[in-house]
Amino acid sequence: MKMSVLEEKLRQKNLKITPQRLEILRAVQNHQCDHPSAELIYQAVKKRYPAVSLATVYKTLETLVQIGEIRVAIVSDGKTRYDTRMDRHHHFLCSACGGVQDVEMRMDCLETCTPESLIGKGTIHRGEVIFHGICSGCEAKQAPAPNTPLL
């Protein structure tokens, strides 16, 4: 999204546009493939705005979620991981490196056949799956080098 469009959105919500806020959004966009945590955004923003506080980063991320600019991808180990991709997709979380990758998967079933245990619990708007495992990068690191002689 162009920054001018974002500025307009913030203005419509009567939110002040500060260079820090814009930098925070930019940092989330730059780290999209990592599904960054608030801490990672904080580290990135601090490089250009050393005075920024972690609390400001948290609050701004919350605001950006509220205005629908970003969303929460997953919460893992108590850390919220953010996502600028708003279309429906799922996630694969690596338990070794903490990496979060996007997963494309059709789940039409969730719209057409509500699981029995959900009936009566309310209106479902979307369903998301989190796959847990070890990513191929971490697997490659763990596997012994192919030329290592077996002792």
The reply to whether 102 sits near Zn ion by the rule CB under 5 A is yes
> By the 8 A CB rule, do 13 and 57 touch?
no
**Window of 10-18, 52-60, 75-83, 123-131 that interacts with Zn ion by CB under 5 A:** 75-83
Q: Which is nearer to Zn ion, 99 or 127 (CB)?
A: 99
- Which member of 72, 86, 97, 129 binds Zn ion (CB under 5 A)? 97
Burial of 1 per CB tally in 10 Å (0-12, 13-18, 19+): exposed
Positions in 9-48 near Zn ion (CB under 5 A): none
- Which member of 1, 96, 105, 129 binds Zn ion (CB under 5 A)? 96
Cα angle at 146 between 143 and 151, to 5 degrees?
A: 90
SS3 71: strand
**Bridge-based pairing state of the strands 100-103 and 90-94:** antiparallel
* CB 18 to Zn ion: min, Å: 27
- Which member of 24, 42, 83, 93 binds Zn ion (CB under 5 A)? 83
SS3 20: helix
| Binding-site ranges for Zn ion (CB under 5 A) | 73, 83, 85, 94, 96-97, 99, 102, 135, 138
